[in-house]
Amino acid sequence: MEFLSTRGKERVTGAQAIVKGLAEDGGLFVPARFPAVSAEELGSMLGMDYAERAALVLSKYLDEYDPNELLAALRAAYSRFEGGDAAPLVRVENGMYMLELFHGPTCAFKDMALTVLPYLLKKGCELTGVKEKVLVLVATSGDTGKAALEGFKNAGGVKIMTFYPDEGVSKMQKLQMCTTEGENVNVVAVNGNFDDCQTGVKKIFNSPECKAALKEKGYLLSSANSINFGRLAPQIAYYFSAYCDLVSSEQIQLGDKVDFAVPTGNFGNILAAYYAKQMGLPVGKLVCASNRNNVLTDFCKCGIYDCKRPFFKTMSPSMDILVSSNLERLIFELSGRDAALTAERMQALSAKGKYSVRAEELKTMQESFYAACAGENETVECIYEFFEEYGYPMDTHTGVAMYAAQQYVAEVEEDPDGEPHPMVVVSTASPYKFPQDVLYALTGNDVKDSFKGIKRINLLTAMKVPESLKEIRYKPLRFKKVISVKNMFHEVLEFLG
């Protein structure tokens, strides 16, 4: 299948899209069309395991990858997940389900794609005849960084470097990243917020001088951020898989619509759900959940994207984002795939921090999306009440999604024309990944030490503690450097030596 840039005429193969990460014109790569999954194919997925379902979805986009090899790579990636099922669906009450995406090596949903991306990238280099080594640059609000580091550590022909906002990630996230093993990894804190890190990385990507300097050292730049289609593709699969699990367990019949609530930051996860819908998955509404940084809520309500506003640090740091990169892919679809208009809007966004869409585009968006946001207190209360009622502990990001899902369900129930569907809340992190905030939500108690928090949550909930989080307690801190935004590229060059 061919891929196009959202901002211009560039056309590439899937392998090229993955190797390049970002188009030359600054746009994001999108598939030339959405491949369909027919009702029969969906039915045939019922009998498959997770890796097989994912292989079916991915091979529709990445047809130049050998399907057997792809399946083997997916099997290997998902065999690293604890508990046997990479994306289990848990029923908590009638009509309400949790899609648990946190059983991977770093306990957040980023593992669903980042355990697979190294294969997609390596094979992509082979398919496109790339001879250089690859430098993967990552800007992270906490979870992507660690998942990418784990995915790429010790991979041949690749170096990976992660930038995170010094004050903008949780203690556990920092500890996870800074204890990563492997000779080809580097982790650097930046004085600034996530948007500063992301802008810094994008600048390197868009600078011909930087690229030339890297080429001289024998490196090609690629991205593990969700702007890379190789991140997006594996995420589409779990929406299909969740749907199949609902049919298999006789919660719904094949063809019934299902709603999904997704805790949203960079708009990658929920965009994958939208892609699944475009491919034919019977999806009703997608609930776009934000924390106090509610740019997307306002956008979905009034059609104006305005990121000129205060930035809040919250207990759901992976959603503390004002510029959601992947929204560009949705804007492109809403505009009827008008690349010039998309480029114009993205120009306005970087120049003035603002753009708007037409009334009919907004209407199209609202047909698929509903948006709501949760403040800190609302999130805490939601986590507490849900645990009281169902004995199910959620992490802070998932708490935001649950709050938004409840808002949506309440509105549908009040609306005489409302269409209630089963609701799947996408659970993006283990509660143990944010132990202090989760313990506070569950008990009102503050603890300073993350591991004490883990122990208390375990006593309270009896939920199993992931092995990977237990281990890092005893690992040495390898990375301690804090730099300013303007020194990011300098740091890259130093790392490459």
Token readout for 222 is 């690629």
Q: How near is the Cβ of 294 to ligand PLP at its closest, in Å?
A: 13
Q: How near is the Cβ of 353 to ligand PLP at its closest, in Å?
A: 19
Q: How near is the Cβ of 269 to ligand PLP at its closest, in Å?
A: 4
Nearer to ligand PLP, 26 or 431 (CB): 431
Nearer to ligand PLP, 193 or 318 (CB): 318
Q: How near is the Cβ of 205 to ligand PLP at its closest, in Å?
A: 18
Chain residues binding ligand PLP by CB under 6 A are 108, 110, 143, 226, 263-269, 318-319, 397, 428-429
Q: How near is the Cβ of 346 to ligand PLP at its closest, in Å?
A: 18
Q: How near is the Cβ of 251 to ligand PLP at its closest, in Å?
A: 25
Nearer to ligand PLP, 108 or 442 (CB): 108
Distance CA 192, CA 202 (A): 15
Enumerate residues 6+ apart whose C-beta is below 8 A from 474: none
Pair 466, 108: CB distance under 8 Å: no
Nearer to ligand PLP, 10 or 259 (CB): 259
Cα-Cα end-to-end distance for the chain: 38
Nearer to ligand PLP, 101 or 341 (CB): 101
Q: How near is the Cβ of 211 to ligand PLP at its closest, in Å?
A: 26
Nearer to ligand PLP, 265 or 284 (CB): 265
Nearer to ligand PLP, 16 or 223 (CB): 223
Closest of 196, 189, 150 to residue 169, by C-alpha: 189
Q: How near is the Cβ of 236 to ligand PLP at its closest, in Å?
A: 12
Nearer to ligand PLP, 65 or 97 (CB): 97
